[in-house]
Structure 1
Amino acid sequence: MKKTRSSTIGYPRIGEKREWKEALEAFWSKSITEEDLLRKMEALRLNDLQKQKNLGIDLIPVGDFSFYDHVLDTAVMFGLIPRRFRSDETPLLQTYFDIARGNKEAVASEMTKWFNTNYHYIVPEFDQNTAPVLKENRPLTYFLEAKNKLGITGKPVLLGPVTLLKLSKGYKQEEFGPLLKTLVPLYQQVLKELDEAGAEWVQLDEPVLSTDLTKTEIGHVKDVYEQLHSPAANLKLLVQTYFESVSDYEAIISLPVDGIGLDFVHDDGANLDALKKYGFPADKTLAAGVVNGRNVWGSDLEEKWGLLEAIRGIVSDNRLIVQPSCSLLHVPVTVKTEDHLEPELKGALAFADQKIDEITLLTKGINEGRPSIEDEIKTREETLQIFRQSPSRTKPHVQNEVSEWEGKEPARDFSFTARQALHQDIFKLPVLPTTTIGSLPQTTEIRQARSRYRHGEWSTAAYDAFIQKKVAEWIEVQEWIGLDVLVHGEFERNDMVEYFGEKLDGFAFTKYGWVQSYGSRSVKPPIIYGDVALPEPMTTKDITYAQSLTDKPVKGMLTGPVTIYKWSFPREDIRAFEVTKQLALALQNEISHLEKNGIGMIQVDEPALREGLPLKDAKKQQYLQEAIYAFKLATCTVKKETQVHTHMCYSEFGEIIDSIKQLDADVISIETARSHGELIADFEKASYDKGIGLGVYDIHSPRVPSTEEMETSIRRALQVLHPQQFWVNPDCGLKTRGIDETVPSLKNMVEATQRVREALGSVGAVPALGSVPVTTRNLSNP
């Protein structure tokens, strides 16, 4: 019998080639029935479980699979269905999707980032008048499915009650303890039924334990787990943490549970230091997250063996589980399909399946002795050495450019006040200027054109002509809608990070390296493997062409250095700050090219800036200082006549308002349509003097918001913002939306703005909304 066991915390749900996305979107478009969807999802789910079994995992997670989001799964399971979506006539699955995506009658629930990752979760909403209730024992359903259909006694996975409540909204802080007590009986019932069904271990995910918690909150954690352990006499409870070191190690390891999962990768050594200092209870199992679940680089097996040896010096082998640092949800499925990569790079990579191989190999080494895996350790070291010594990774001129900025503080030459007056004189925008964030609908026709070009079916000239045709059509549409500041639409871009990575030195790309971002939306992060440089202009051709078609300003659209870093799989041999400085200098050069081509508004998007904020308060200031430095390094050399914009996603604005001011951008837009009221409240507590757009409608939902709805949002914002600083825009890019959603939504947005302008007595020069221009008739999918 094995002494040490292997485990995974969670597995990618999207399939090797995004079969999950295909099934979901076919169901949403009514191309397949609910029965078809359930059948396809079951096949994918069972395939993933069988694969983990075949790869040698001992404790296979069940219940980590989701139709949209695991936080939403937990909320719906416990009856946390917002009042606006409750209907006895609507099937539960449709209600589930309505909460996530909205419907014609109701706005979707808020969506925000899952801790410091690029995964988005749906924020649960507590209703003071409705107590939580167990609607379905979801972990039990998946446990029995794996047991009956595959003979797998899985490890049910469930979001823990403390994290569930901490991530929710709709209650006051003093209500946290009482609300937590209402959840405990429901969790007890879930665990009791799993115990009766024969489950051995249950994993309760509590990543919130890696954030800064108060003593009162730690007390709540103790109370909850004292109550949860008692009703399931034979069941072993594993409290799983990840993304950082735990906030109170002594308290967490003292919880009345059978196992504790700790992240030994992203803890900066703090979990290991605590383990050495305080030891580990003799009656508990340690689930040691030693393989990086958030990046794609293969493990240095010698280093991981040393880490495990340090852990084994404190925890006996029979109380040890070897696993990744977090769910493998955050990495692609397998490297095997990436045949186009250079062998030296491919050999250095490990996606989910390869990480499982590392986990089972290390487990074997513990159980059978180091000699049993010595050859694999040696081979891995040789492979990594070849990659590390590759000359393609190092560019002396890049390192010299970075060193030239050492000790210098990047800053623009003119104050915002001086720039603001100059920009108003140049652009002559009306009060409450209207614009979009950047991307416009990417139809099937556009995606097919890009595919044909990539596969060599279209020449560069044919593809460029197609892109220019789309740009021209949409410039006309934007002018007809009445927008004040236009965009070229980004039709040439597959992704806001991947596109730039393809134009920069130091990046590599996968064919099937998809990871889930939100819902069916997946991204394919590029891999930063070497020094980053700009070999030639990236964006000037399409943007200057767009500007040549109109007298209105067209924004140059760039992705910022922090976001490119955060939304890539970064190299790990140098500090993140060094990489973001390289990226910033590359963007600085690109901005110079745009200015030379007459582009007077340039948007440098940083949607990932807030998500990268460390979970521990002690680390936040340094991170923010470095993020601000990188943004300012990219933008500090612009002319005083150039207006710099930026965009952020789902930011808790109040927490970082001072840092956002320091960016010194002329205009910032923030993705807050689903939490508009909360953000407005931040402005009642703190001032912001620069231009700002709060996002008056949610682009992640297919619904078309009414003019009245957006007018209300604008008026609410103007209670705390001056009309001369407020911009009106959707809350994010529109690439994922259909034309039949985008055009009427933007028309309503402009109409709402016009109404407010008239009420302010400052009517802007907005064209009348007449008949649809000829070109829009040709914009729809073929």
Structure 2
Amino acid sequence: MQTHNLGYPRIGSHRELKKASEQYWAGKATAQQLMQAGAAIRLQNWQLQQAAGIDLVPCNDFSFYDQVLDTSLMVGAIPARYHDLMQEKQLPHIDLLFAMARGYQKDGYDITAMEMTKWFDTNYHYIVPEFTANQQFTLFSNKVINEFNEAKRAGINAKPVLLGPVSYLLLGKEKESGFHRLELLKKLLPVYTEVLTKLEEAGAYYVQLDEPCLSLNLSTAERQAFVKTYQEIKSKLPQLQIILASYFECYGENLPTALSLPVQVLHLDLVRCPSQLEDILATDIARSRMVLSLGVVDGRNIWKNNFETSLGLIDKAVSQLGSARVWIAPSCSLLHVPCDLDLEKNDNVLTPEIKQWLAFAKQKIDEVVTLKQLATGENKEVANARWKENLDANNKRKTSLLIHNTAVKARTAAITIRDAARNSAYASRKLQQQEALRLPLFPTTTIGSFPQTAEVRSWRAKWKKGELTQEQYDELIAHETEASIRWQEETGIDVLVHGEFERNDMVEYFGEQLSGFVFSQNGWVQSYGSRCVKPPIIYGDVSRPTPMTVRWTSYAQSLTKQPVKGMLTGPVTILQWSFVRNDQPRSETCTQIALAIRDEVVDLEHAGIRVIQIDEPAIREGLPLRKENWDEYLRWAVRAFRVSASGVEDATQIHTHMCYSEFNDIIEHIAAMDADVITIECSRSQMELLDAFAEFRYPNEIGPGVYDIHSPRVPSKREMIELMEKAKAVIPADQLWVNPDCGLKTRGWPETKAALEAMVNAARELRAAVAVNA
């Protein structure tokens, strides 16, 4: 029996990678210093896992930005718009990587970034590969080989990890019509074969190929692509031992395909889908030589493993296959959990009672090793002590008085159909909102947050440390809020925002004020690039003790006669971007959050706020991977949003915001949310996402993002007008808003002001053009 890990967090225990990357982007660190920071993180991760007792330690799970983008660089799938930059500037690989991820606007170049979207149903974002019909592939980057050699020099028993070729193609997009990206497989496979050959020559015995698309509903042609691919790899590299990993779901109808592939080890996510083990053991696998990797430790959540449950699965597999053909692992890469629970030193932040129920990446590695020891009888004394500790912690969690609130449960149970519906249909509400708000054609707004400068962040840090009094802190926030209101008025934005200077993160800020939530100090998780979030931990029933946003929103509204939007995070997004309790259905927890947000919406309206945005960027992300499970999720997710939004009068305009999602398959459910205005990310996809809204004839108003806030480049007025013209070609002008594609928290003020001034001027020009043509 062996242990292995599918991947480890790459940001560093103290977010070293974030700090090093941002220093490099700002010109305050050299490329060598950035490389040294990456090497230090890799070495620390490898040594930690090997010392804990992991038999096969992953390498190439590290990335300076994103593993899918690394794969594009590896196979030379670099979009044509970067070619002049490569040839004339001769950018080092690291700068090309960042240019593809973030755009490039200097030295006379103005190159847009590649599209970014969610990695399956997680809050991690990947950079979407771009393919053309005549796409050529070549080995461009030796990163995976270099990192394997680096691990070998450090004395690590390493297994390289690569995104598999079929999933790589399926996760990309055709950038022109007339072909399917899987047709490129015959061109791509020689590059993968070359990489795998170099790894074998370097001494790699096992290689992990991640094919997470095997957890999706696949066509016959797509399943055949897997068969052809792995037969080709086996024929070219008969001695290389392939670990095939899929995760986040069952193999489902893809199971016969997966079992037929000529691979040596098949990984199963038994956290998301424990039932598939019996399905597999019921096949003739016992007569084959395939090893099963049992993903029994949750790589997506932070709750302590239940050793009793995991050992039951392990024993079942061992009884049929024998110990040598059973491996133990986390369910997926530990990229999605924080690094180390031992860094949580403050008992006032994360109490000992709750902390004993948790396990972060380092602790999950120990759980994997302990499960092996318990299953094999190795290191019996230590393993038995950990077994007792695990059993005790799980039993205490079940009986804890912290978790249950009977009043919350009763209120949730009492929700009626009426609680999830506005007073009138949208057509009637729209007339009342037009009368109340008096907005022009193509109204302009932003998504909510303005730049959180180092100065603003320092105020919050000093206030938390007691270096600023509450009165001093409030005075600084009030001054910054007023300055942002005045600037928006001068710029000519139609619906203003207060800027959110008092907020840390769009979920964390609310979680800190809701009961049933607790926070870590160092529980950071990568969202994309250098962007890290610290998800709340939902440990119990959720309610809202006091108003959360009314003070600063109503203060901002008192400064201006123009409408100021109330800014809230929606129940599904709070759920998705938190570590959610696993002792009750997620739908129940989501409904509790919806009622808490509803209370806030009603209080904002009573305070005179007539435009309220309830952000739901994660509603598509929460969609189950298998289509047969969609309806149940969408039923309770849409209901939760409607519960949160339906306590107001018709004249109050409800907005929602979604980003980095595909809507085609669920557009009718988006419409069923019945928000008066939806703002969506459209700039990176060049308005492609609007096609779904146009074909469906979406009835309410839409704000397609006209510039990409995740890139530092400032788009021109003309660029924004051209995007809006594309939008106007498919959506009636009187339904369109003009806005960025997301909040501006991570941007700097100079680029923000320049971009928003261009955006307002673009809207004015659009109005003038309509007036001329009227």
- Normalising by the smaller structure, the TM-score range is over 0.9
Count of aligned positions: 759
Partner secondary structure for residue 692 of structure 1: strand
Aligned to 1:117: 122
Deviating more after overlay: 389-398 vs 93-102: 389-398
Of the three residues 128, 137, 141, the one matched with 2:133 is 128
Equivalences for residues 460-609 of structure 1 within 5 A: 460-609=470-619
Q: Deviation at 1:486?
A: 0.3
Q: Select the residue among 350, 359, 370 that pairs with 1:350.
A: 359
Please report how far the alpha carbon of residue 466 of structure 1 lies from its aligned counterpart in structure 2 after TM superposition: 0.9
Matches within 5 A, 1:404-423: 404-405=414-415, 410-423=420-433
Q: Is the 8 A contact 1:280 1:314 kept in 2?
A: no
Instruction: Give the AA of the match of 2:320.
Output: I
Structure 2 residue 624 is matched with structure 1 residue 624: no
For 1:147 and 1:539, locate their aligned partners in 2 and report how far apart those are by CA, in whole Å.
Answer: 53
**Deviation of the 1:314 alpha carbon:** 2.7
Partner residue, 1:291: 297
CA distance in 1, matches of 2:181, 2:481: 51
Tell me if the contact between 2:517 and 2:538 (Cα under 8 Å) persists in the aligned partners.
yes
Following TM superposition, by how much is the alpha carbon of 1:606 offset from its aligned partner in structure 2, in angstroms? 0.4
Moved more, 339-348 or 553-562: 339-348
Q: Say if 2:301 is the partner of 1:301.
A: no
Q: Against the structure 1 CA distance between its residues 23 and 763, is the aligned structure 2 distance closer, same or farther, given a 3 Å change threshold?
A: farther
1:12 corresponds to 2:13? no
1:173–1:205 CA distance, 2 compared to 1 (3 A): farther
Residues 283 and 153 of structure 1: is their aligned pair in 2 closer, same or farther, counting only changes over 3 Å? same
Deviation for aligned residue 1:525? 0.1
- What CA deviation, in whole Å up to 9, does each residue of 1:82-137 have, x standing for no partner? 11112222222211100000012111000000000000000011133341111133
CA distance in 1, matches of 2:773, 2:709: 27
Q: 1:62 to 1:346 in 2, by over 3 A?
A: same
Aligned to 2:47: 50
Distance 2:311 2:463 in 1: 46
Match of 1:338 among 333, 336, 344: 344
Q: Which residue of 2 aligns with 1:167?
A: 171
1:767 is aligned to none
Amino acid corresponding to residue 491 of structure 1 in structure 2: F
Deviates more, 1:406-415 or 1:117-126: 406-415
Q: Which amino acid aligns with 1:254?
A: S
Task: Please say if residues 699 and 731 of structure 1, whose CA atoms lie closer than 8 Å, have aligned partners that are also in contact.
Answer: yes
* Alignment match, 1:237: 242
Residue matched to 2:59: 62
Residue 147 (structure 2) pairs with residue 142 (structure 1)? yes
CA distance in 1, matches of 2:572, 2:93: 40
Matches within 5 A, 1:190-339: 190-247=195-252, 248-267=254-273, 269-280=274-285, 282-339=288-345
Structure 1 partner of 2:99? 98
Give the match's secondary structure for 1:156.
Answer: strand
Which letter does structure 2 place at the counterpart of 1:98? A
* Mapped pair 1:151 → 2:155: yes
Distance 2:442 2:320 in 1: 63
Q: Which 4+ stretches in 1 moved above 6 angstroms?
A: none
Q: Confirm or deny that 1:74 pairs with 2:98.
A: no
Counterpart of 2:675 in structure 1 is 665
- Contact 2:683–2:708 (8 Å) recurs in 1: yes
Please report how far the alpha carbon of residue 153 of structure 1 lies from its aligned counterpart in structure 2 after TM superposition. Answer: 2.7
Aligned pair partner of 1:366 in 375, 389, 398: 375
SS in 2 for 1:599: coil
> Does the aligned pair in 2 maintain the 1:275–1:314 contact within 8 Å?
no
> Which structure 2 segments of 5+ residues have no match?
none
Separation in 1, partners of 2:49, 2:378: 23
- Aligned 8 A contact 2:114 2:684 in 1: yes
In structure 2, distance between residues paired with 1:179 and 1:377:
50
**Superposition deviation, residue 762 in structure 1:** 7.5
Give, in angstroms, the shift of residue 602 of structure 1.
0.6
**Distance of 2:403 and 2:418 partners within structure 1:** 26
Say whether 1:452 aligns with 2:453.
Answer: no
CA-CA distance at 1:763 after TM superposition: 11
- The superposition leaves residues 36-82 of structure 1 with CA deviations (integer Å, 9 ceiling, x where unpaired) of 11111111111111111111111000001001000000001110111
Once the two structures are TM-superposed, the CA of residue 170 in structure 1 deviates from its matched residue by 2.0
CA contact (8 A) 1:757 1:763 kept: no
Aligned residue type for 1:18: R
Matched, 1:614 2:620: no
Q: Indicate whether 1:745 and 2:749 are aligned.
A: no
Answering whether residue 29 of structure 2 is matched by residue 28 of structure 1, we say no
CA displacement at 1:676 relative to structure 2: 2.8
Gaps of 5+ in 1: 765-782
Q: What SS class does the counterpart of residue 732 from structure 1 fall into?
A: coil
Letter in 2 for 1:366: A
Query: With structure 2 as the length reference, what TM-score do the two structures score?
Result: 0.96
Q: Secondary structure at the match of 1:71?
A: helix
> What whole-Å deviation, never above 9, does each CA across 1:242-278 have from its counterpart, x for those lacking one?
00001311220110111111100112x3422312322
Q: Give the distance between the partners of 1:259 and 1:304, measured in 2 at CA.
A: 19
> In 2, are the aligned partners of 1:676 and 1:694 still within 8 Å (CA)?
no
CA distance in 1, matches of 2:734, 2:335: 44
Q: Percent identity?
A: 46
Could you tell me how far apart the structure 1 residues matched to 2:570 and 2:21 are?
Answer: 31
Shift of 1:302: 1.1
**Kept after mapping to 1: 8 A contact 2:423/2:650:** yes
CA distance in 1, matches of 2:764, 2:417: 48
1:717-755 C-alpha deviation (Å, 9 max, x unpaired):
000111111000000000000001100000001111111
2:679 is paired with a residue of what secondary structure? Answer: strand
**Structure 1 residues 49 and 762: CA distance shift in structure 2, 3 A:** farther
Which residue in 2 is equivalent to 1:108?
113
Deviation at 1:685, TM superposition (A): 2.4
Counterpart-to-counterpart distance in 1, 2:301 and 2:178 = 35
User: Could you tell me which amino acid in structure 1 is paired with residue 119 of structure 2?
Assistant: W
- For the aligned residues, what is the CA RMSD? 1.5
* 1:724 alignment partner in structure 2: 734
Corresponding residue SS for 1:668:
strand
Cα distance in structure 2, aligned partners of 1:143 and 1:370:
30
CA contact 1:119–1:516 (8 Å) conserved in 2: yes
Please report how far the alpha carbon of residue 364 of structure 1 lies from its aligned counterpart in structure 2 after TM superposition: 1.3
Report deviation, 1:680: 2.9
Whole-angstrom distance in 1 between the partners of 2:770 and 2:595: 43
Partner Cα distance (1:175, 1:736) in 2: 36
Quote the offset at 1:9 in angstroms: 0.1
Mean Cα deviation higher: 169-178 or 247-256:
169-178
